[in-house]
Amino acid sequence: MSDQPTAVEEQSELKNILEAALFAADRPLTVSALKALFPGDAQPTVAQITEALDTLERDFHGRGIELRRIGKGYRFQSREKYSVWLQRLNEGKPPRYSRAAMETLAIIAYRQPVSRGDIEEIRGVAVSTDIMRALLDRGWIKEVGRRDVPGHPALFGTTSGFLEYFNLGSLDELPTLKERRDPAEVAKELNLRLPLEISDDGEATQSEADESEYSSDLQHSAEIIHLDTSGKPNPDNEPESEPGLDVDSEREVT
> Are residues 123 and 17 located together in one domain of the fold?
no
Select from 76, 81, 119 the least CA-distant residue to 224. Answer: 119
> Are residues 62 and 127 located together in one domain of the fold?
no
The answer as to whether 238 is a domain residue is no
The answer as to whether 146 is a domain residue is yes
> Are residues 142 and 193 located together in one domain of the fold?
yes
- For 108, counting Cβ atoms within 10 Å of its Cβ (0-12 exposed, 13-18 middle, 19+ buried), the class is buried
- DSSP E strands in the chain: the ranges are 29-30, 65-70, 73-78, 141-146, 154-158, 197-198, 204-205
The answer as to whether 168 is a domain residue is yes
* CATH, residue 32: 1.10.10.10
> Are residues 185 and 145 located together in one domain of the fold?
yes
Contacts of 56 (CB under 8 A, 6+ apart): 15, 18, 19, 22, 67
Q: Is the pLDDT of residue 133 over 80?
A: yes
Q: Answer whether 221's CB lies under 8 Å from 124's CB.
A: no
> Are residues 64 and 140 located together in one domain of the fold?
no
Select from 157, 209, 164 the least CA-distant residue to 183. Answer: 209
Q: Is the pTM of this model over 0.85?
A: no
Mean pLDDT, residues 135-151 taken together: 93
> Are residues 104 and 204 located together in one domain of the fold?
yes
> Are residues 123 and 68 located together in one domain of the fold?
no
> Are residues 125 and 158 located together in one domain of the fold?
yes
pLDDT recorded at residue 115: 94
Q: Is the pLDDT of residue 189 over 90?
A: no
Which residue range is the domain that position 51 belongs to? 7-78
The answer as to whether 32 is a domain residue is yes
The answer as to whether 88 is a domain residue is no
Q: Is the pLDDT of residue 221 over 70?
A: no
pLDDT digits (tens, 9 = 90+) for 104-132: 999 999 999 999 999 999 998 999 999 99
The answer as to whether 23 is a domain residue is yes
* Residue 182: band (very low, low, confident or very high) from pLDDT cuts 50, 70, 90: low
Q: Is the pLDDT of residue 225 over 60?
A: no
Mean pLDDT, residues 9-13 taken together: 84
C-alpha 107/C-alpha 105 separation (Å) is 6
> Are residues 103 and 153 located together in one domain of the fold?
yes
Q: Is the pLDDT of residue 103 over 70?
A: yes
Mean pLDDT, residues 157-171 taken together: 90
**For the chain, what is the domain count?**
2
Q: Is the pLDDT of residue 85 over 50?
A: yes
Mean pLDDT, residues 42-52 taken together: 93
> Are residues 103 and 216 located together in one domain of the fold?
yes
By percentage, how much of the chain surpasses pLDDT 70? 65
The answer as to whether 115 is a domain residue is yes
Q: Where are the alpha helices (DSSP H) in 60-115?
A: 83-86, 99-111
